[in-house]
Structure 1
């Protein structure tokens, strides 16, 4: 048995059991209570306190559930707090109760537009026109919005097909101004943000959609896409599989799962081939992996870096530089690609390029290791600008003292001025210059202290460097070969004999003048 409070006088209420009240009186009481609740809701609506307005409109509906206007009022309040789903439900209810309730029909159209359901909006608009043809000016703007949104949708589809993702984001921003609750527009915008590499914005947009609906397949797909493009392949695959559990017909998620699996598998096979020394097979697999998902910049940057590692192993430094450059183009913060390109530049003796890369690396990392790498690059640059004594003597940088002596003998005899005494003046000048450089080279590389300073890139022209440029190459030659007889410096040697002591200095050493 229920009870009801009846106002018997201004400010005076009395409680009755419903069984003791005339049904007509009870209906009157309910109507009055409902109207009071509605009026209170209207007051809160005017004060822009829409949540309280909704509360009192709900009270009115509970008291009098067959009143179309009450649903229409609550729909208006829901629209003001952007709850277009509930607003649409109330609007539809109000029109079902009263097909001639114009405000309810108009709000229904506005809700459909806000939710991006243009087909339903057009149908509702035509229905409203047929029932109220004399009020066309009141819903002209809704007709304009529907047509405008259709144009924006068509433009977005064209831009998407052209992979102009920046333009799609712009178009969807315009569409969301008219349809702020459209999940499809929000999803398309978020997807394009991910395709543009704006992962934080894309994840923020998808998280907002998931807060409204944790099973939003489109939002879950965008989160997976962000993880995929940030090279978190395992987590990305898990998100795509979750999308398919929510929506088994989600075509993009199904394709993404396939791409992730194929990319992981091909990359791992390439790594295994590289480790096994199968360099050509590794190159083939890494290049195949690059074709799987061209939009996945970070993963593809790593693949290019892997290709560079193969070329470095093959000592093909030109191709390795190209691969590192391709990796950096995709990910300009990829430290490993810079490190590998530095090695390649140094092998190619492009030391200024190596220093530039080392400076960029140090700015990115600012670590002890990057500082040392920059220091070494600068030393090698400095060394590259001075005479290469190892190259002058035609010996390797790892040559021991015996190998340096043998190299000096061969170079000194080859470039000695007496050997070129019958040549042109230009040939004589060139030989004299080369003979002097050979002497300089031997003076440094035969002295352990000077050699150490030279190998460390230190300046040998300072007082500690021994002033090697003042060395007399002829004196070094005489000292090394033990002196020569008359007839001009070392003429005896170049007439077919050997300088005194030359054979004794290195038994079995054969001179070649071919």
Structure 2
């Protein structure tokens, strides 16, 4: 074993002696060849320093830059690769591979201007058309989808932009510019997690990427995290003072925050119209900011409620929920507004949604109360039928019954049309039913408490309004009182209880 090692050491020493005697050009060529061998077996990281050593030995040899550029490209280090191919074609303007690699690098980076320049150079050299065919095809696709993307962006068709960027990344999967354009539009579409994932993946490699920080700031802004958004926009402007998009959205964010806070202060000071105006102006600042705008609509709905504009308050709550369907405060506000105007079915529907999202004891009670109000709204209003207030006493109820019963008694409308007779019969029956309940303390208490009268003493029997009338006026089968309906006008008549 020792003899073998000595032999290897001797061979190594001989090789070192041989290298020492070689010229820089020969050594550079050897380094290049060794690099090529590693490149062929995809050992790009190992090949890279060998190409760099060859360049150091012979800095004016175009092929060495071309080889190192190819190695950089396999490692997705396109910026360094582009620098090498620029140096390569500068040393040898006729180096076709250098221009082909320049086109590849440019396309990978989404730099269509440089790609077009490189493709034209190859075409001008009148080489085989297949040499640059793939690059030309990719260039045409990128050019098409970039153009479509720009038009869609101007129209705020952000879904189309995302589609176009995906097609661009089919050709240039490592292009950060395409990724960040997509991420920005995902933010506009409310797909914040996807946008943040793209931005974070870029910042993991390039912590100072201003566009990626801008996208993260946008996500925070549209999620109504304004303070953190401000910090991101400030960082972008420190890195890139001329970043127009960051400057514009930073101004929007500051103005939006100020107007919202001013509206809140006006509301607290009971200056409701001023608060309404401030919230209205704030809603115009950025229509894409759904989270903040949902809160502004809710705040304005609260103001409208205080201004007794209930229907408009409902509309604003609906607008808030269209922007954020899980906004419980807006659901609660709208439900209360519905209840206030007697639209109890809609109120119950909203309270059910609230309870489904938050099964708290308080929300359960609100739902129960709403269902009770709905139930009460569907039963007859006996107080209204008699024309008395809910706090009416026994005497007042009796007087009201006497008055209404005489007005609606069927005998008074004997000469009326059939439809009118039926209407008056119904009202006469309702008056008797109302009196039957409100004149009985137990039934009245159950009625006032919203309990079912059908469950009272085995059920609420059908009321015979004539019996109620006779009982109330003291009529009997042996004679009684006589009532005259008509007051001297044609068609008047008299009937007598016997």
| Residues 1:196 and 1:389: Cα distance change in structure 2 (over 3 Å) | same
C-alpha change, 1:305 and 1:411, in structure 2 (3 Å) is: farther
Cα distance in structure 1, aligned partners of 2:227 and 2:466: 68
CA distance in 2, matches of 1:236, 1:438: 67
**What's the offset of the Cα at 1:41?**
1.3
Mean Cα displacement is larger for which, 322-331 or 34-43?
34-43
Are residues 229 and 84 of structure 1, via their aligned partners in 2, closer, same or farther at CA, if it must alter by over 3 Å? same
Compute the displacement of 1:362 (Å): 2.3
CA contact (8 A) 1:40 1:56 kept: no
**Alpha carbons of 1:370 and 1:81: their partners in 2 closer, same or farther (altered >3 Å)?**
farther
- Determine the structure 2 residue equivalent to 1:75: 69
Structure 1 position 12 matched with structure 2 position 11: yes
Alignment correspondent of 1:146: 139
* Equivalence for 1:501: none
1:30 paired to 2:27: yes
TM-score (norm 1): 0.81
The answer (yes or no) to whether the contact 1:41–1:55 under 8 Å persists in 2 is no
Pair 443,243 (structure 1): closer, same or farther in 2 beyond 3 Å: farther
Higher alpha-carbon deviation: 140-149 or 205-214: 140-149
Q: In the TM superposition, what are the counterparts of 1:226-241 in structure 2 within 5 Å?
A: 226-241=219-234
Aligned to 2:255: 262
Alignment of 1:299-378 (within 5 A): 299-378=292-371
**For the structure 1 residues 178 and 404, does the alpha-carbon distance in structure 2 shift closer, same or farther, using more than 3 Å as the test?**
farther
CA distance in 2, matches of 1:488, 1:475: 15
TM-score by length of 2: 0.83
Q: Which residue of 1 aligns with 2:171?
A: 178
Unaligned runs of 5+ residues in structure 1 are 1-6, 496-514
Correspondence for 1:44 among 23, 31, 41: 41
Which residue does the alignment assign to 2:493? none
Structure 1 position 177, deviation (Å): 1.6
Q: Taking structure 1 as reference, are residues 301 and 412 closer, same or farther at Cα in structure 2, changes over 3 Å only?
A: same
Alpha-carbon distance in structure 1 between the residues aligned to 2:469 and 2:439: 11
Q: Secondary structure at the match of 1:134?
A: coil
**Paired residues, number:** 477
Mapped partners of 2:206, 2:457: distance in 1: 76
Q: Which one of 81, 99, 108 corresponds to residue 105 of structure 1? A: 99
Whether the 8 Å CA contact 2:78–2:109 is kept in 1: the answer is: yes
Q: Partner residue of 1:290?
A: 283
Number of the residue aligned with 1:118: 112
In the TM superposition, what is the alpha-carbon distance from 1:475 to its structure 2 partner? Answer: 5.2
CA shift digits 1:13-44 (9 cap, x unpaired): 118999xx997536487347514632441343
User: Judging changes above 3 Å, is the alpha-carbon distance between structure 1 residues 22 and 70 closer, same or farther for their aligned structure 2 residues?
Assistant: closer
C-alpha displacement at 1:199, in angstroms?
1.0
Question: Is the 1:361–1:370 contact (alpha carbons within 8 Å) kept by the matching residues of 2?
Answer: yes
- Counterpart position of 1:89: 83
Relative to structure 2, which stretch is displaced further, 336-345 or 204-213? 204-213
Given that 1:44 and 1:53 are in contact with CA atoms closer than 8 Å, whether structure 2 keeps it comes out as no
- Give the whole-Å Cα distance in 2 for the aligned partners of 1:266 and 1:351: 35
1:247 paired residue number: 240
* 1:69 to 1:456, Cα distance in 2 relative to 1, 3 A: farther
Q: Is the 8 A contact 2:408 2:428 kept in 1?
A: no
Question: Structure 1 residues 334, 269: CA separation in 2 closer, same or farther (over 3 Å shift)?
Answer: same
Q: 1:64 to 1:347 in 2, by over 3 A?
A: same
The unaligned stretches of length 5 or more in structure 2 are 1-5, 488-498
Given candidates 390, 397, 406, the residue that maps to 1:408 is: 397
How far apart in 2 are the matches of 1:364 and 1:239? 33
Cα deviation, 1:300-341, whole Å, max 9, x if unaligned, reads 111111222122223322112111111111211211111111
Shift of 1:57: 4.3
| Secondary structure in structure 1 of the residue aligned to 2:342 | coil
* Whole-Å separation in 1 of the counterparts to 2:449 and 2:53: 89
Contact 2:35 2:48 in 1 (8 A): no
Secondary structure of 2:174's match? coil
CA shift digits 1:34-84 (9 cap, x unpaired): 146324413432xxx443444554565566655544433333233233222
Deviations 1:249-299 (A, max 9, x none): 111222212211221222222222222222222221211111111111121
Q: 1:416 to 1:27 in 2, by over 3 A?
A: closer
Please, which moves more after superposition, 362-371 or 339-348? 362-371
